[in-house]
Structure 1
Amino acid sequence: MANVLMIIEAKIATTYLLEQIMGACRVHGVDHKVKFLNELHVDDITLDTIPMFVRCADPHVLSWTQLLADANRSYVYYIDDNFWRILGDNPLALYYRHPIVRKSLDFAVSHAAIVMVNSSELARFISRYNTRIEVLPTFFDFSLVEEVTPSYTDETRIGFAGSPSRVDDLEMISPLIEPILERFPKAVFEFAGVLPRGVRTEARVRFFPHTGDYNNYVKFQASRNWAIGLAPLIDHEANRSKTDNKYREYGAFRIAGIYSNIPPYSDVVRSPVTGLLVANTKDSWLEAISVMMESPQEREILTRMAFEDVKNRYDLNVVSREWADVFIRFDEARSINTKPLRGGKIEIKKFWRYIERYWLSFWVVYKTGGIYLVSKRIVKKILRLV
């Protein structure tokens, strides 16, 4: 049995998804455990352990990957976003642009025995740091929605769910809301986790708060009974490196999806059979939504074809064998000429990484909201301790 230690910074959608695929790998001879990066100890990484860092760029990962490299211990690095090319001045972009984070990310990726990705676009970019790359298929766990019953409605709901970082992608949707509502009396827009700039909620424009629990997020989407799902992506390098998650979700939920005609969606959607691929212009998106609104029978055919495609290509049980094979090959091929991990060395490094980490948090908060936001965060932390 190959033993994988998933090392994560926080519980996010990606880590929930990876736990799904790792759990499915067990029947193929791969077991796994999960550990937070800031709680990791040298005793957690035994000689039969395969460390897998998941999207880690915190300064702590630099200490750990340096320690592993010095001891000739191989590790895996999983990444599903192009952190080097995130645009804007939002906290996420500022964080990954910081020199400390870049140094940690560059070292961790370049020294990995395998870098695991789900996108050919991302693989091409990563190859400038490391050529030992495995492009693995994405997946969907259909068991999450087996008992979810979509809510009954005579509305024609148009939906989008995502994190607040997706607000820029929704810029192409916001000017279409009013004309669609005027033209189609039964149309309703629902946004979960993020609302387009300048758009106010009202009876036919609804907003639902973001949820960090992926299982609840999936069940929520499946229950809302959206007729049309939107997947806009501004065309830039970071977006082209994303996974095709919206296609998998909309297909599994039997939602007619409309997608920007760029990777990752142009790689997997067969337009107009399993979804609509559209150019990133107001007219193209307005026409695509209108066509879907006017053609309930075509929507039904499209959703059936998309469901069958996603079920055949992405079902967790279908792709888990391929994932498991990577870990089994890794386990068989890694070097036996290893050295002991030096706990004292890592503790000294961790002390300085903690200093860097808190300075980084201060810097991002200050850049985002100035001294006011810094003071507000400090007061909140003090109140938690009282």
Structure 2
Amino acid sequence: MADIEVFGWQADHAGGYYRIQLPLQALGARGHATASSVLMPDFVRGDANLIIIGQRICHPRATQLWQSFAAEGRRLVFEIDDDLWNIDPSSPVDHKFFGDEEIRTNLRRNIEVAAAVTVTTEPLADRVRQWNPNVHVVPNAVPDWLLGHQPQQRHDDTITLGWGGGATHRMDWERHGGQIHRFLDLRPQTEIHCIGVNYVRMVGVPLERIRFTPWAANVEEYLRTIDYHIGIAPLREHVFNRSKSALKAIECGALGIPVVASAVRPYQDYVQHGITGYLVRRDEEWVHLLSALANDYDMRVAMGEAARVRAAQQTISCLVPLWEKAIFG
């Protein structure tokens, strides 16, 4: 392991894919020697020349180690992809954890001592520049293979809406879920495929209209479970959401699937209204825009093709130079 140049210290297995594993795989394809883990191996501790990317380092023991690396003059890159200072109380576990004063202090201190910080969006960069001026905005990217993958969609008369996401989206479904439910009620030949956390059930959609897939063992397996005709991306206007990326729309676009998304950041900066999907500006537009796509096969295909062209600009092979610049300086 002595030839490793960069080690990615993941916060967890699933969340580390887009911001640690995928970038390091791409760097490996460009000739760099990389490794990653949720654990800190002995070979990393003992190699003063090895660059360490730390994802959301904030636990007390991890912070102690990170600070000791900084004191030794190691090159550290702090990676963060969410505004952890503004999590809504509707996500009680994360809100409580990241609301703890020790955790908040650790985040600040660990950002301060890093040689560089990587973030997903400009609003998030603005958040962390108060602690470290060397912030690199490196947008989320999808694996290149996704552009050539054909989702296994239904070929009967049933239209599948689809959404995938985790534990911080309850407020989004509380805000917009009723309109999506209304569309399903008005069009009997529709279903919704929910991946990750099943908020759809929370808004009263009958179980027979829902297909639910728990999180897969890894992100690539999750991507292969996406089989929608139309992707949906409800998002509440909220300070936490303004720092998020358009990853759901990028994933769907790479698969040739148009999206209907809330017209708030991040989707208003990514979805091309009427070309790669639709942006919802008023509540009643959910039903209208979903109906337009559900009723028109040719439109779905044309928008899906345009969305795939758009997503081709967001593959990891396109964006890996930004990671290279951030990590190696």
Letter in 2 for 1:168: M
Letter in 1 for 2:195: A
Residue number among 205, 211, 216 corresponding to 1:206 in the alignment: 211
Q: Which residue of 1 aligns with 2:238?
A: 236
Please list, as runs of the form range in 1=range in 2, the aligned pairs for 1:1-386 lying within 5 A after superposition.
3-15=5-17, 17-37=19-39, 39-41=40-42, 44-88=45-89, 90-143=92-145, 146=148, 150-154=152-156, 155-193=158-196, 194-196=198-200, 197-221=202-226, 224=227, 226-279=228-281, 281-311=282-312, 313-328=313-328, 330=329
The verdict on how the C-alpha distance between 1:256 and 1:71 changes in structure 2, with shifts beyond 3 A counting, is: same
- 3-state SS of the aligned residue for 1:165? coil
**Distance across 2 between alignment mates of 1:219 and 1:18:** 20
Letter in 2 for 1:4: V
- 8 Å contact kept, 2:161–2:191: yes
Cα deviation, residue 287, structure 1? 2.1
Letter in 2 for 1:157: T
Q: TM-score, normalised by structure 1?
A: 0.77
Cα deviation, residue 321, structure 1? 2.7
Larger mean CA deviation between 107-116 and 186-195 belongs to 186-195
| Structure 2 residues without counterparts, runs of 5 or longer | none
**Distance across 1 between alignment mates of 2:204 and 2:80:** 33
Q: TM-score, normalised by structure 2?
A: 0.90
The verdict on how the C-alpha distance between 1:42 and 1:185 changes in structure 2, with shifts beyond 3 A counting, is: closer
- 3-state SS of the aligned residue for 1:108? helix
Cα deviation, residue 289, structure 1? 1.4
- 8 Å contact kept, 2:9–2:53: yes
- 8 Å contact kept, 1:28–1:324: no
How big is each residue's C-alpha offset from its partner over 1:350-372, in whole Å with a ceiling of 9 and x where there is no partner? xxxxxxxxxxxxxxxxxxxxxxx
Cα deviation, residue 298, structure 1? 1.8
**Distance across 1 between alignment mates of 2:9 and 2:153:** 38
How big is each residue's C-alpha offset from its partner over 1:108-159, in whole Å with a ceiling of 9 and x where there is no partner? 1122110001201100111112111011132111325746551433211111
Larger mean CA deviation between 227-236 and 186-195 belongs to 186-195
The verdict on how the C-alpha distance between 1:46 and 1:119 changes in structure 2, with shifts beyond 3 A counting, is: same
- 3-state SS of the aligned residue for 2:231? strand
The verdict on how the C-alpha distance between 1:185 and 1:36 changes in structure 2, with shifts beyond 3 A counting, is: closer
- 3-state SS of the aligned residue for 1:52? strand
**Distance across 2 between alignment mates of 1:169 and 1:52:** 31
Cα deviation, residue 286, structure 1? 2.2
Cα deviation, residue 258, structure 1? 1.0
- 8 Å contact kept, 1:201–1:207: no
Letter in 2 for 1:187: T
The verdict on how the C-alpha distance between 1:263 and 1:278 changes in structure 2, with shifts beyond 3 A counting, is: same
**Structure showing greater Rg:** 1
The verdict on how the C-alpha distance between 1:186 and 1:19 changes in structure 2, with shifts beyond 3 A counting, is: same
**Distance across 2 between alignment mates of 1:172 and 1:288:** 17
Cα deviation, residue 100, structure 1? 1.8
- 3-state SS of the aligned residue for 1:195? coil
- 8 Å contact kept, 1:140–1:249: yes
**Larger helix proportion, structure 1 or 2?**
1
**Distance across 1 between alignment mates of 2:124 and 2:33:** 27
Whose RCO is larger (CA < 8 A, sep 6+)? 1
Q: Which residue of 2 aligns with 1:373?
A: none
**Distance across 2 between alignment mates of 1:148 and 1:84:** 38
RMSD: 2.2
- 8 Å contact kept, 1:192–1:210: yes
Letter in 2 for 1:102: R
**Distance across 1 between alignment mates of 2:268 and 2:105:** 33
| Structure 1 residues without counterparts, runs of 5 or longer | 331-386
Say how many residue pairs are matched. Answer: 323
Identity over aligned pairs, percent: 22
Cα deviation, residue 75, structure 1? 0.7
Larger mean CA deviation between 154-163 and 9-18 belongs to 9-18
- 8 Å contact kept, 1:54–1:79: yes
The verdict on how the C-alpha distance between 1:16 and 1:121 changes in structure 2, with shifts beyond 3 A counting, is: closer
**Distance across 1 between alignment mates of 2:44 and 2:119:** 28
**Distance across 2 between alignment mates of 1:166 and 1:83:** 14
